[in-house]
A and B are shown apart, each in its own frame.
Chain A
Amino acid sequence: MRSVALVLALTAIAVALLALILGASGMDVGRALLALSRGAAGSWDAVLSGTLVRATPLLITGLAITLAFRAGVLNIGAEGQLLMGAAAAAAVGLAWPGLGLLAVPTLLVIGAIAGGAWAAIAAVLRLRFGVLEVISTLMLNFVAQYLLSWLVRGPLQEPQHIYPQSASLAESARLATLVPGTRLHAGFLLGVLLAGMLAIVFARTAAGFRVRLVGANPAAAISAGRIDAARVAFGAFVLSGALAGLAGAVEVSGVTFALYENLSPGYGFSAIAVALLARLHPAGVVGTATLFGALEAGAVAMQRDAGVPSVVVSVVEAVLILLVVAAEQWRTRRVAAQVGA
């Protein structure tokens, strides 16, 4: 319930901010907002094929970030992990087109493994040499991006060797459509399920509790709990990468059906905002991912129908994050002040 209220409040703030920015730059506020809301929620098709399809990769990578940040691991590399997951899934799907019913599950698992392996590079660097994961994961994003660029021009390029993209996946390797006639695929449902699972893992399981402990106070987890904090953080790091990789596989198997250079418009980065806005609660991530999906789907419509540059929406997203982070700080300080008095 609290996360629903949070998302509604955030939505209201986002719209108000947008109106303010548009008004201040002398644009037709009414027309722009109308176009935005039509693009995001004007019809069933807008919601299902626009907002929710956009929300899906944000949701799954948002969960990836949530898991890592809760463990105190600052994984900034969901973008790269997503791309590697997408590449691995596409490679396997194209190499073995005859997998039949097993094709989709295989692709998703392969995507998760690839994302986890990509994160494991940074996790090992952290564990063995103390390399800060903020730096290593950020840098590995570039490596992944250029690796992808090479793949779609090299070994995975479509047979005509004209476009920098792969061939299309067989029908059997594509995720099922949830609502006939729309683009909404089973990946969204998978994301919601994963959010529920992650919420339960945090709240009810021993492993989830250890992750929260290590993230909240590693020294106490080690000293009072005798927890192998490095191991727990390592596990959360790799699993976080696996989730991001899964998001990439879902995108390939559910939306693009082929590997493209610019497969992701920065889902892995937006995911950080999605997770922080949800205050690292998995259930909240469903809401904030949907909000961001709506904003981005609406932004496209706004640019098309009202001539307002879609980057305005990025400004709104950024301001939302600042607001939430500031509110969080303010709340913590108030609690501390009350106790200290």
Chain B
Amino acid sequence: MTVAALALEGITKRFGAVTALDDASLTVRAGTVHALLGENGAGKSTLMRVAFGMLAPDRGTVRVAGTAHTFATARGAIDTGLGMVHQHFSLVPALTVAENVALGGRGRFDRAAVAASVRDIGAETGLLLDPDARVATLPVSAQQRLEIVKALSRKARVLILDEPTAVLAPDEARELLAWVKRWAVGERAAVLITHHLADAFAVADDVTVLRRGRTVLARGVDGLTESALVQAMLGEALTVASGAPSAHDRTGAPVLALDRATVVDERGIERLAPTTCEITAGEIVGVAAVEGAGQAELLRLLAGRLRPSSGRATVPLSVGFVPADRHRDAVVLDMPLVENLALKDAAQARSWMPWPALRSETDALMSRFDVRANGPTTPMRALSGGNQQKFVLGRELAEGPVALVVENPTRGLDIRATEEVRSRLRAARDAGLAVVLYSEDLDEVLALADRVLVVHAGQVQAMPPDRTRVGRAMLGAS
């Protein structure tokens, strides 16, 4: 048998009383793409941090191309030919591409040599980048290319990619996965950490599934079914709802309305062309778009969080809004849950805050929306992402709003939390709310939406939830 490019054997890692990895293993064959799957908290990232020398395991061996290593730091892992692209990029926006590639290197900075190597890697692998471009001006997909080029410039033979498609538009994601497949040949190999089953089936040769820190499945992808994979991840049969939209008739009254509404940003660029639309009670309107097409502005108009630059937006005050960037826009991490609940009505609050009543409201919300935390005075920071999202959704639904606008509501959540959030949205629709949903995950939009608004370059067009039509319209194809 040939030697594995990367082998993790019997890895155990404890954090205090918590066992994050329990005798986990992973064998990546040379010349393959390996998908590492698992729910949030299953131990995927911890395992890869062990492989990359960022964490020392309590037990177990890391072998790179057959040789056992004990890395004290990521530097050691890099020197043996491992490269890692984190989900959150570690780039310096104010520096150029070449300068970012040189960062972390040793010796003198020779701009011309680094630029040449960036061009060489581009020519060789197709990851084209302008060495002199400032990172702050690059789109997300190019920043990700740069992260990969950084790893390759240090002669990485095994690339570990953590949720690489999470930040990309569908076509960019497809392109990236195809590139990974082409690259991982010969001595080279790639590990794809993901919770997108589709990504795994699209490019992986082998699959390893972690559950609660243990390796529960390790096999080739041939003959593997989606339900077997889901069962391995969850440990029980759970049907992935590809929800049939309810056969409801749209006779509800219009709740949200835009009349030739536009959004012009502070640099005078029109982000949203004149848009007229109505969202009625009892429907889920999906919004489909690639990143930066103007959907963020459309959603904020509909949520009453942004005033149109021209035209009119008719939006009632009681609109729930679940923004994509939870930590920035929806919660205060350092405040307890009860204060995060009170945040919703803080602008209208007068004189004294009714904290005892708010605490019992928080308790009620936590049990109704299955938010797992120690109590209303737990800091928001102590909750997992899924529980934070359930809390925010619960808060926005708590006072019986007439409409709900949600943006990437399941990003970063595991399958179970995702399914819970989705069923809440359906329940809200069935209860007569006007629901607007944007998701980067087109399948999620199509699974939930009764009809779709596609945003492309600031232009909005309505259509039925038909995958081909929506997909083409998102990309601006007619």
Contacts and interface: CB of A to CB of B under 8 A. Distances in A.
A binds B: yes
Given A220-B328, A220-B331, A336-B381, A209 B342 contact: yes
B347 A217 contact: no
Interface residues of A, number: 22
A70 to B, nearest CB: 12
A132 interface: no
A204 B349 CA distance: 11
B69 interface: no
Contacts of B330: 220, 223-224
B381 A335 contact: yes
Nearest to B303: A223
Contacts of A212: 335
Contacts of B381: 335-336, 339
Nearest to A216: B332
B197 interface: no
Contacts of B305: 223, 226
A221 B351 CA distance: 18
Interface string B3-28: 00000000000010010100000000
A210 B332 CA distance: 12
A341 interface: yes
A341 B352 contact: no
Nearest to B41: A341
A314 interface: no
B52 interface: no
B346 interface: yes
Contact of B347 (A220, A225, A339): A225
B346 A210 contact: yes
Given A209-B339, A217-B332, A341-B15, A224 B352 contact: no
B398 to A, nearest CB: 13
B427 interface: no
A205 interface: yes
A272 interface: no
Chain B interface mostly: mixed
A224 B382 contact: no
A62 to B, nearest CB: 22
Interface in A88-121: none
B409 interface: no
A322 interface: no
A224 B323 CA distance: 9
Interface in A176-226: 204-206, 209-210, 212-213, 216-217, 219-221, 223-226
A171 interface: no
B352 A204 contact: yes
B355 interface: yes
Contacts of A206: 346, 349-353
A228 interface: yes
A127 to B, nearest CB: 16
B332 A213 contact: yes
A225 B331 CA distance: 10
A227 interface: yes
Contacts of B343: 213, 220-221, 224-225
Contacts of B379: 335
Interface centre among A210, A213, A228, A335 (most CB of B within 10 A): A213
Given A204-B355, A336-B381, A210 B328 contact: no
Contacts of B307: none
A204 B355 CA distance: 8
Given A206-B352, A335-B381, A336-B381, A226 B347 contact: yes
B346 A216 contact: no
A207 to B, nearest CB: 8
A235 B268 CA distance: 30
Contacts of B15: 341
Contacts of A217: 328, 331-333
Nearest to B333: A217
Contacts of B382: 335, 339
Given A220-B329, A223-B321, A224-B331, A205 B352 contact: yes
Interface residues of B, number: 32
B175 interface: no
Nearest to A205: B352
A227 B346 contact: yes
B334 interface: yes
Interface centre among B347, B349, B352 (most CB of A within 10 A): B347
A240 to B, nearest CB: 20
Interface in B364-398: 379, 381-382, 392
B346 A221 contact: yes
Contact of A209 (B46, B333, B353): B353
Contacts of B321: 223-224
Interface in B300-339: 305, 321, 323, 328-335, 339
Interface centre among A209, A216, A339 (most CB of B within 10 A): A209
B344 interface: yes
A26 to B, nearest CB: 43
Contacts of A209: 339, 342, 346, 349, 353
Contacts of A336: 381
A205 B346 CA distance: 10
A210 B339 contact: no
A163 B15 CA distance: 69
Contacts of A335: 379, 381-382
A220 B346 CA distance: 11
Interface centre among A221, A228, A336 (most CB of B within 10 A): A221
Interface in A322-341: 335-336, 339, 341
Interface in A212-258: 212-213, 216-217, 219-221, 223-228
Given A209-B346, A216-B334, A341-B18, A223 B329 contact: yes
A36 B114 CA distance: 61
Nearest to A332: B334
A190 to B, nearest CB: 24
Rank and list the top 7 A-B pairs by shortest CB-CB distance, nearest first: A206-B349, A223-B329, A225-B346, A217-B332, A341-B15, A227-B347, A225-B343
25 contacts: A206-B346, A206-B351, A210-B346, A210-B349, A213-B332, A213-B346, A216-B334, A217-B331, A217-B333, A220-B328, A220-B330, A221-B346, A223-B323, A223-B329, A224-B323, A224-B331, A225-B345, A225-B347, A226-B305, A228-B347, A335-B379, A335-B381, A335-B382, A339-B381, A339-B382
Interface of A: 204-206, 209-210, 212-213, 216-217, 219-221, 223-228, 335-336, 339, 341
Interface of B: 15, 18, 20, 46, 305, 321, 323, 328-335, 339, 342-347, 349-353, 355, 379, 381-382, 392
Given A216-B335, A224-B331, 19 more contacts: A204-B353, A205-B352, A206-B346, A209-B349, A210-B349, A213-B332, A213-B339, A213-B346, A217-B333, A220-B330, A221-B332, A221-B343, A225-B343, A225-B345, A226-B347, A227-B347, A335-B379, A339-B381, A341-B20
